[in-house]
Amino acid sequence: MGKSSKDKRDIYYRLAKEEGWRARSAFKLLQIDETFNILKDVRKAVDLCAAPGSWSQVLAKKLDSSNATETKIVAVDLQAMAPLPGVIQIQGDITKKSTAEAIISHFEGEQADLVVCDGAPDVTGLHDIDEFIQSQLLLAALNITTHILKRGGKFVAKIFRGREVSLLYSQLRIFFNRVTIVKPRSSRNSSIEAFALCEGYDPPEGYTPNMMNPLLENSSVDWSQLEGEVNRFVTPFLACGDLSAFDSDRCYPLSFQGQYERREPVQPPIRPPYADAMNLVTKMGDFHIERHD
């Protein structure tokens, strides 16, 4: 870890290891659900940009499984993901037509209740470029969503709150009755990341999803006619997750006021790089290390 980079192994990282989530991101979806009930009555969901799979784990655990034959979760990522029971996995780039078509093919004759996208590019540190690439991921996710989401359905997507983000808010508002920007407690304040929570899928009259057109150039809709609220909309920004939830920007000791006691990880590291060093120390018998911090 470089001198200037922040230790990412915060309290949520530890909790994820202890509770068996594949990534600390699980808590972001859990906290959004805690406040906005987004998983209620959801049976079919798509998890875009899903690796290593903690959001898919949350979906697999929390979706309405009262009728198991109706439950469907499709997870997609550029990276390979370890299998998860009950989750159909696709490896591919969501900005590519072939991947989008593979996802859509799983929904022939049926529709999804929810699409989530936690997609993030490998950040370059050049903010304008990072924000632009992230917004392209979001638009690719939205385009796929317009093919499979049922009317009234929900879409939750990571968004970077950069300078030009209000254009994205307006684009989302064209397709959804309500757009709220939410920031879970487990998402660091220091990060420009937030999540667009889009509810009530309601595409403009005449809109036909089409893979060959960039999203907002669909010929059947005259976008210039979309006046009024879509253009003047002020998007609410809400924090979510209980205020007493752990603060992701704070350091907690291994035991904290009865609220946190360190536990062993559900699955210890298989072959961590530090194991060799530890073996070496054991082999050296009574080798003695003094620390003067």
| 21 among annotated binding-site residues | no
Residue among 72, 154, 158, 183 flagged as catalytic: 158
**Under the criterion CB under 6 A, does residue 15 sit at the interface with ligand SAM?**
no
Across the chain, the runs of DSSP E, i.e. the strands, are 44-48, 72-77, 87-91, 112-117, 149-160, 176-184, 193-201, 237-240, 255-256, 260-261
Q: In angstroms, what is the minimal distance from the CB of 197 to ligand SAM?
A: 15
Helix, strand, coil share of the chain (percent; to 5)? 30, 20, 45
**Under the criterion CB under 6 A, does residue 137 sit at the interface with ligand SAM?**
yes
**Under the criterion CB under 6 A, does residue 51 sit at the interface with ligand SAM?**
yes
- Helices vs strands, H then E, count in the chain: 8, 10
Considering beta carbons, is residue 26 or 74 the nearer one to ligand SAM?
Answer: 26
**Under the criterion CB under 6 A, does residue 54 sit at the interface with ligand SAM?**
yes
Cα–Cα distances in angstroms (integers) from residue 45 to residues 39, 49, 62, 69, 230, in the given order: 9, 13, 11, 14, 27
Of the candidate residues 23, 104, 192, 226, the single one contacting ligand SAM (CB under 6 A): 23
Of the candidate residues 31, 43, 53, 75, the single one contacting ligand SAM (CB under 6 A): 53
Is the Cβ–Cβ distance between 260 and 246 less than 8 Å? yes
**Under the criterion CB under 6 A, does residue 93 sit at the interface with ligand SAM?**
yes
Q: Is 158 a catalytic residue?
A: yes
Main-chain phi, psi angles of 188, to 5 degrees:
-65, 140
Q: How far apart are the first and last CA of the chain?
A: 18
| 125 among annotated binding-site residues | no
Q: Which of 99, 43, 42 is nearest to 76 (CA)?
A: 99
| 77 among annotated binding-site residues | yes
Of the candidate residues 55, 155, 169, 201, the single one contacting ligand SAM (CB under 6 A): 55
Of the candidate residues 62, 64, 106, 121, the single one contacting ligand SAM (CB under 6 A): 121
- With 0-12 / 13-18 / 19 or more C-beta atoms within 10 angstroms meaning exposed / middle / buried, residue 86 is middle
Main-chain phi, psi angles of 275, to 5 degrees:
-60, -40
**Under the criterion CB under 6 A, does residue 38 sit at the interface with ligand SAM?**
no
Stretch near ligand SAM under the rule CB under 6 A, chosen from 51-59, 170-178, 239-247, 261-269: 51-59
**Under the criterion CB under 6 A, does residue 33 sit at the interface with ligand SAM?**
no
| 64 among annotated binding-site residues | no
**Under the criterion CB under 6 A, does residue 202 sit at the interface with ligand SAM?**
no
**Under the criterion CB under 6 A, does residue 134 sit at the interface with ligand SAM?**
no
Of the candidate residues 42, 49, 59, 84, the single one contacting ligand SAM (CB under 6 A): 49
Of the candidate residues 22, 43, 44, 173, the single one contacting ligand SAM (CB under 6 A): 22
Is the Cβ–Cβ distance between 71 and 65 less than 8 Å? yes
Is the Cβ–Cβ distance between 143 and 100 less than 8 Å? yes
* Beta pairing partners, 149: 112
Is the Cβ–Cβ distance between 150 and 207 less than 8 Å? no
Residues that bind ligand SAM (CB under 6 A): 22-23, 25-26, 49-55, 77-79, 93-95, 118-121, 137
Residue ranges for the known binding site for S-adenosyl-L-methionine are 53, 55, 77, 93, 118
